[in-house]
Structure 1
Amino acid sequence: MTGTTEKKAALLAEKLIAARRSGERLARSEADMLGADFETADAHAVQSFVFEAFGPAGAFKTGRKVEAAPVLVAPIYSDVLRPTGSGFTASEVKSCGIELEIAFRLDRPLPDLNADDFAERARACVTALPVIEIVDGRIEDFPTLPDALKLADNQVNGGLVWSEPETEDARSFVEPVVKLSFNGQAVVSGPQKVPGGDAFQTFLAFTQTIGKHLGGFNPGQIVTTGTLTGLIFVEPGTVVEGHIEGLGSVSTTYR
């Protein structure tokens, strides 16, 4: 990060903090100007500044479009991490995007990252969960933001609803059978491929990437692994129900 981008990161963070507090989105033109040369380190610097005002993180977003790609890291603040059945209001979330995902909750400290059997031992430290991510941004026209600006704004996260799994039996982290319904009407149904190939492998890559960023990944925190349903926006008054075969169901309401 250069001195110029560091100053721009601090200024963008100030504006994102103001946007979160006022509920008024930052102008896209201003965000584009500040983030024009941003790379991942610059986006993480913005996250760190905003985290000081709104942390801690109850969860993280990760994911990747293809298996060989680096994974992203973005915080989900504790005040918008809620159990199944909880809702979000239009005053909290201005534009409510919905994504059904597989997530992993860390139940006990991870083993040494360099251990030869790290993957096997890490699997025993986590519980897989069905989750619904709420997508919203603090910048105008946030769905079309460049990748670095999305990452700077916490990968446009607005909240996360989680549920305890209903079973530990057969499940797929590669192509699970899912169902997503709005007000009782199915909008996505059937087998859906996990972005990046395998949700657990994406989780493992996240553990190797986060390091001490925003306090690191600690027991009790959850990490998502990418949408199974695409991003779908809903209007106030929508009851959202998701089901992942082998994991169970999760629901929320946008009021």
Structure 2
Amino acid sequence: MTPSITALADALIAAHRSNRTLDAAPWTDALQDATQAYEVQDAVATALGWFQSGTVPGCWKSGGGSRDVTLTHAPLPPAGVRQSPANFDDLAFHIPGIEAEIALRLGKDVTPAMAAKLDHNDAASLIDAMAVSVEIVDSRWQDLPATPALLRLADSQVHGALVLGEWQPYAAVDWASQRCETKVGNAAIVVREGTHPLADPAWLLPIWLRHVTRHGQTAPAGTVVTTGSWVGVLPCRRGDQVTAEFAGIGAVRLIV
């Protein structure tokens, strides 16, 4: 890594360890592309001991605002991945938000050679289960709206924690009419229908799997990816009770 990338990684590592946030302004020009942002992700994860060396992380986030933009990915620290119902009063958050999502689970190993040949029509055959999930988004950057996209990506794509619901067998779903209801604290229930930004959560699988296997590692069966928010980012506060339900698929409950 270049000195500026190493310095950025060190700053994020220190922010994690001290539960503090950083001013993004001094780091605006530290990264030139996504490859460098992913180098920072890897350096932070290694320093904090999130994953076993030489293995593919077991849980990821992946997604983007539409099929026309470059999708981004981040491995998720296992300490923050929990089953519903979940309570996160032991974790530190700064300005958390809620995303209601669908998670997918690989049903078979995917080698780099397999990933290279996948297309959007056959990737879903690799999935054995799906579940409702809620991501708590959070950042080590003080002013997230003003933070450049590459710095967000370097910071685990602003991940805080993840809750997974009960796994259900993966089956074809009419995603265009899929209903999602999310409630945060005392706020009104947010109802959405057919609002996944990629139209189908499984559409991202070939792109995500090529990223996961890019260093020559095989993604093992059981690897999980959460696939993007149906509700944008809903504001929340510490202590809020959150529920998210996808009709016909399941629900999750958590306390932020």
Q: TM-score, normalised by structure 1?
A: 0.86
Is it true that 1:59 corresponds to 2:80 in the alignment?
Answer: no
* Match 1:187 to one of 189, 203, 207: 189
Contact 1:76–1:157 at 8 Å: present in 2 too?
yes
Cross-structure match for 1:176 = 178
Alpha-carbon deviations, 1:174-198, whole Å to 9, x = none? 4521000124754311314111232
Cross-structure match for 1:161 = 163
Distance in 2 between residues matched to 1:17 and 1:216, nearest whole Å: 27
Cross-structure match for 1:127 = 129
Contact 2:165–2:251 at 8 Å: present in 1 too?
yes
Evaluate the alpha carbon distance shift between residue 110 and residue 211 of structure 1 in structure 2; reply closer, same or farther with a 3 A threshold: closer
Evaluate the alpha carbon distance shift between residue 153 and residue 84 of structure 1 in structure 2; reply closer, same or farther with a 3 A threshold: same
Contact 1:99–1:132 at 8 Å: present in 2 too?
yes
- Match of 2:140, SS state, is coil
Contact 1:106–1:220 at 8 Å: present in 2 too?
yes
- Match of 1:65, SS state, is coil
Evaluate the alpha carbon distance shift between residue 126 and residue 31 of structure 1 in structure 2; reply closer, same or farther with a 3 A threshold: farther
Contact 1:105–1:221 at 8 Å: present in 2 too?
yes
Cross-structure match for 1:28 = 24
Alpha-carbon deviations, 1:20-50, whole Å to 9, x = none? 0001111222232534xx2101101111110
Q: Which runs of 5+ in 1 are unaligned?
A: none
Cα deviation for residue 220 of structure 1 reads 2.7
Q: Which runs of 5+ in 2 are unaligned?
A: 52-56
| AA aligned opposite 1:42 | Q
Evaluate the alpha carbon distance shift between residue 173 and residue 53 of structure 1 in structure 2; reply closer, same or farther with a 3 A threshold: farther
Distance in 2 between residues matched to 1:86 and 1:244, nearest whole Å: 18
| AA aligned opposite 2:26 | E
Cross-structure match for 2:110 = 110
Alpha-carbon deviations, 1:139-198, whole Å to 9, x = none? 111243211111000100001100114576663344521000124754311314111232
Over aligned residue pairs, what C-alpha RMSD do you find? 2.6
After the TM superposition, which residues 63-74 of structure 1 pair with which residues of structure 2 at under 5 Å, given as runs? 63-74=63-74
- Match of 1:34, SS state, is coil
Evaluate the alpha carbon distance shift between residue 115 and residue 91 of structure 1 in structure 2; reply closer, same or farther with a 3 A threshold: closer
Contact 1:109–1:125 at 8 Å: present in 2 too?
no
Contact 1:168–1:246 at 8 Å: present in 2 too?
no
Cα deviation for residue 232 of structure 1 reads 1.2
Cα deviation for residue 87 of structure 1 reads 1.5
Cross-structure match for 2:8 = 12
Contact 2:115–2:206 at 8 Å: present in 1 too?
no
Contact 2:178–2:246 at 8 Å: present in 1 too?
yes
Distance in 2 between residues matched to 1:7 and 1:45, nearest whole Å: 12
Evaluate the alpha carbon distance shift between residue 133 and residue 79 of structure 1 in structure 2; reply closer, same or farther with a 3 A threshold: same
Contact 1:62–1:226 at 8 Å: present in 2 too?
yes
Q: TM-score, normalised by structure 2?
A: 0.86
Cross-structure match for 1:87 = 87
Distance in 2 between residues matched to 1:221 and 1:126, nearest whole Å: 11
Cross-structure match for 2:54 = none
Distance in 2 between residues matched to 1:77 and 1:89, nearest whole Å: 17
Evaluate the alpha carbon distance shift between residue 144 and residue 198 of structure 1 in structure 2; reply closer, same or farther with a 3 A threshold: farther
| AA aligned opposite 1:39 | D
Cα deviation for residue 207 of structure 1 reads 1.4
Contact 1:175–1:194 at 8 Å: present in 2 too?
no
Cross-structure match for 1:225 = 227
What count of residue pairs does the alignment treat as equivalent? 248
Q: Percent identity at matched positions?
A: 27
